[in-house]
Structure 1
Amino acid sequence: MHAAPRRHPVRFLPALIATATLLSACGTSGAAGSSKADEPTTKVTVTPAAGSKSVKLGSAISIRADGGKLTSVEVKDDQGTKVDGRLSAGGAAWASDGKVRPKTTYTVKTRAKSTGGKESAATSVFTTEAADKVNKLTNTPGGGQTVGTGMPVSILFDNPVAKDRQAGIEKALTVTTTPHVEGAWGWVKDYSGKDRIDWRPKDYWPSGTKVSVKGALAGIDSGDNGGWFARDYNFGFRIGADHKAVIDVPSHTLTMYENGKKVDSVVGSAGSPQDPTRGGVHTVRSKNAAETMDSSTIGHGNEWMLDSKWVTHLTASGTFLHSAPWNNKLGVANTSHGCFGMSTGDAKKVYDFLTIGSTVEVNGTSNPNKTDVGNGLEVWQESWQQWQQRSALK
């Protein structure tokens, strides 16, 4: 005898089916409303493109966000140096402040948020092409120096700078001072024949001024014969005590002033009528405790070779303040070949008093010629109006 088959109640099935349908409906509703799993992320476009191996020099780095906004951007070169840039209002785009450098690998890291709130992150890497020629510069004064109240900012380029590139380079250079001091850049042909750009204040610097110079030059082309700049520059210096000297040629005297007040005076011998000392305001460009005076360097052949001490250099062509123990006319007659010679003791006084960047004013000379600005740091040979005409942005 077989057992009767067991029957299962079925009255609960409609309720179970209804419950399953309800859960499914809730899941679908969540995907459409609160879950971001299926939402599109922000499309971030980096230019130059990721993976590029020879990005053209002169390019900027730009980033665009479509369907959302950029929340953070970090760009670094292969030395770990951060690349500065600007994020647009609303975060739709980012652009670098400067251009890419030669033969450099850049890593771009971005974070973005879509219009629906979905966050995403991405990394892009590219490398720039090499430069056929690189231009470098030498800045005066050196970073961290304390200099006199007449010192200009002077930037000497290794290679030529094409005329049509000067404006772009000048725009990339900034001078910031504390307190604020008015000044301007001017293009100069250095005594060496190289291109140079100087920044001079309208008037002499106030003592204690702090000066910061930045050159966002990386990735800028200086012309076919000059090449590309491979890096940015950043240096600063400070203006020290107000020390100046005034030479009165007819009376054979040099007077030293501190903050406009006379502190000492010495006698000497300026240039003879045949070789009169250069007039106007000169800037002390360098100093040397001992030096050999070689006549051939100023166009006098092999007339003399004399050892001198406490040499203060004014012009690149050889206008100096120095000891002249061989001269028996000190304080009596002007017999030098353009320098101002003194006793060894007095030359040291002057040497110690004047700093690099101090000014030396020469009055009463018979030399009618104005010294060229590039013949040393001769920015004070011109009026403020004349100087401003040297700017490529005038």
Structure 2
Amino acid sequence: MHARLRRHPARLIPALIAAAALMTACGAGADSAKADRSATKVTVTPAAGSKAAALGSRIAVRATGGQLTSVKVKDDKGAEIGGRLAGDGTSWTSDRKVRPQTAYTVRTEAESTDGEKSAATSAFTTERADKVNKLTNTPAGAQTVGTGMPISILFDHPIAEDRRAEIEKALKVTSRPHVEGAWGWVKDYSGKDRIDWRPKEHWPAGTKVSVKGGLAGIDSGTGGWFARDYDFSFTVGADHRAVIDVPSHTLTMYEDGKAVGTVTGSAGSPQDPTRGGVHTVRSKNAAETMDSSTIGHGDEWMLDSKWVTHLTASGTFLHSAPWNKSLGVVNNSHGCFGMTTADAKRVYDFLPVGSTVEVKGTSSTTKTDVGNGLEVWQETWPQWQQRSALK
């Protein structure tokens, strides 16, 4: 009996150890299974590790088995990418589409249905665009312009018809004070695509204007992709305008609606009448050579002029014409309004880029195309609104 009692514990010990080990193993498996059930699965699209994620998509984050508590996305320049979290907390979508050849880092935090918290980081890089579309904005940033100035955006490459609405939506104009206006699509005199924003009426003097173009990541069609956003601002100066009365050979300057001076000159001849309507001063040049070949008159003349104020892109200018001995008497120019050098300087100084010049009493029946300069005032407000891709 005593011998058997001494041997019995020896036989039981391995069994007990094995049983304990089995229970321990079962316990670990249960905890692991519980962890698998309680952990939130977070999926990021484009997929982590992508080296050439497709363009044209937004960044999407989805949680399974829980909710997202934080999503932070940055590009390779450190800029944060905004987005919207769904009401149920299970998905997040970026406000913007991904840009070409850009690296993004997505950091997420989530909480499972069992209250377990987790965090993860995902990174990917987008593909390179075959062609990048850029733009040139007028006015340039920080300029002070006249009260008739439109916002004009000229694109490097063509804009497909079916891409215009999205591009127009991405362009935002704000001003202090608020001014009503609208975007309109224009074919520039150069043949390139353009979109202009004009106020319904002239800007109030002193208006501060800001333009933001959230274009990065938008496909312009055959013209390629936009790779960056745009942000510029300008100020509207004093209300300076001019009116040319062709029959009386005069140009009268107005400030805040009051006449402040009149000069005499010569408008276009009956054969080349000055274009009518309201023109916008698009640029100015203190000295310029007038070349007849640029307006279809061959090599008839090559004359040096000063204080040149440009209206249309096709060659309607205000300028000095010291060679003309009939200033103020006969309208005999080739469409411009010529003046003495002193009067041309006076007009040049008075009219900033963006101010307007109305031509009255001309025999011209040619309607100036909006793209022939900054000719947005050639159309009525209802006509202009029809140019929007969102009409």
Fold equivalence (TM over 0.5): yes
Shift of 1:90: 5.0
Shift of 1:116: 4.0
Partner SS, residue 344 of structure 2 = helix
Q: Which amino acid aligns with 1:214?
A: K
Shift of 1:89: 3.3
Q: Comparing 372-381 with 134-143, which one deviates more in the overlay?
A: 134-143
Q: Does 1:366 align with 2:381?
A: no
Partner SS, residue 81 of structure 2 = coil
Q: Which amino acid aligns with 1:300?
A: H
How far apart, in 2, do the equivalents of 1:71 and 1:263 lie? 65
Partner SS, residue 254 of structure 2 = strand
How far apart, in 1, do the equivalents of 2:136 and 2:120 lie? 39
How far apart, in 2, do the equivalents of 1:68 and 1:310 lie? 71
Shift of 1:318: 0.5
| 1:249-268 per-position Cα deviation (integer Å, ceiling 9, x unaligned) | 11111111111111111111
Partner SS, residue 229 of structure 1 = coil
Partner SS, residue 170 of structure 1 = helix
| 1:201-221 per-position Cα deviation (integer Å, ceiling 9, x unaligned) | 111111122222121211111
How far apart, in 1, do the equivalents of 2:83 and 2:205 lie? 35
How far apart, in 1, do the equivalents of 2:101 and 2:65 lie? 34
Q: Is the 8 A contact 2:62 2:91 kept in 1?
A: yes
Q: Does 1:316 align with 2:310?
A: no
> Please, which of 266, 277, 288 is the counterpart of residue 291 of structure 1?
288
RMSD: 1.8
How far apart, in 1, do the equivalents of 2:253 and 2:180 lie? 27
How far apart, in 1, do the equivalents of 2:384 and 2:47 lie? 44
> Please, which of 323, 328, 339 is the counterpart of residue 326 of structure 1?
323
Q: Which amino acid aligns with 2:308?
A: V
How far apart, in 2, do the equivalents of 1:340 and 1:362 lie? 10
Q: Is the 8 A contact 1:39 1:118 kept in 2?
A: no
Match of 1:356 in 2: 353
Match of 1:336 in 2: 333
How far apart, in 2, do the equivalents of 1:72 and 1:208 lie? 43
| 1:168-214 per-position Cα deviation (integer Å, ceiling 9, x unaligned) | 21122121222221111111000000000111111111112222212
The structure with more helix, counted as a fraction of residues: 2
- Number of matched pairs: 361
TM-score by length of 2: 0.88
Q: Which amino acid aligns with 2:355?
A: S
Match of 2:61 in 1: 63
Shift of 1:326: 0.8
Q: Does 1:231 align with 2:228?
A: yes
Match of 2:195 in 1: 197
Contiguous gaps of at least 5 residues in structure 2: 1-26
How far apart, in 1, do the equivalents of 2:318 and 2:349 lie? 12
Q: Which amino acid aligns with 2:46?
A: P
Match of 2:137 in 1: 139
> Please, which of 104, 116, 119 is the counterpart of residue 117 of structure 2?
119
Shift of 1:114: 3.1
Contiguous gaps of at least 5 residues in structure 1: 1-27
| 1:65-85 per-position Cα deviation (integer Å, ceiling 9, x unaligned) | 333333332212112222222
Q: Which amino acid aligns with 1:43?
A: K
How far apart, in 1, do the equivalents of 2:312 and 2:205 lie? 24
Match of 1:252 in 2: 249
How far apart, in 2, do the equivalents of 1:86 and 1:357 lie? 40
Q: Does 1:281 align with 2:262?
A: no
Match of 1:183 in 2: 181
Partner SS, residue 313 of structure 2 = coil
How far apart, in 2, do the equivalents of 1:234 and 1:155 lie? 12
How far apart, in 1, do the equivalents of 2:62 and 2:207 lie? 42
How far apart, in 2, do the equivalents of 1:317 and 1:76 lie? 47
Q: Does 1:388 align with 2:385?
A: yes
Distance of aligned partners of 1:211 and 1:116 in 2 relative to their CA distance in 1, 3 Å threshold: farther
| 1:87-139 per-position Cα deviation (integer Å, ceiling 9, x unaligned) | 33354322111211111111111223334443322111001111111111111
Shift of 1:54: 1.2
Match of 2:171 in 1: 173
Q: Is the 8 A contact 2:61 2:91 kept in 1?
A: yes
Q: Is the 8 A contact 2:38 2:113 kept in 1?
A: no
Q: Which amino acid aligns with 2:119?
A: A
Q: Comparing 215-224 with 371-380, which one deviates more in the overlay?
A: 215-224
> Please, which of 272, 286, 294 is the counterpart of residue 269 of structure 2?
272
Match of 2:20 in 1: none
Runs of 4+ in 1 over 4 A off after TM superposition: 36-39
Partner SS, residue 380 of structure 1 = helix
Shift of 1:359: 0.5
How far apart, in 1, do the equivalents of 2:316 and 2:171 lie? 31
Q: Comparing 371-380 with 82-91, which one deviates more in the overlay?
A: 82-91
Shift of 1:38: 8.6
| 1:334-378 per-position Cα deviation (integer Å, ceiling 9, x unaligned) | 111111111111111111111110000000000011100000000
> Please, which of 298, 302, 307 is the counterpart of residue 301 of structure 1?
298
Partner SS, residue 297 of structure 1 = helix
How far apart, in 2, do the equivalents of 1:248 and 1:205 lie? 24
Q: Is the 8 A contact 1:142 1:235 kept in 2?
A: yes
How far apart, in 2, do the equivalents of 1:148 and 1:86 lie? 40
Q: Which amino acid aligns with 2:322?
A: P
| 1:30-71 per-position Cα deviation (integer Å, ceiling 9, x unaligned) | x99xxx989833322211111111111101111123333333
Q: How does 1:36-47 map to 2 (within 5 A)?
A: 40-47=38-45
How far apart, in 1, do the equivalents of 2:256 and 2:92 lie? 49
TM-score by length of 1: 0.88
How far apart, in 2, do the equivalents of 1:310 and 1:95 lie? 55
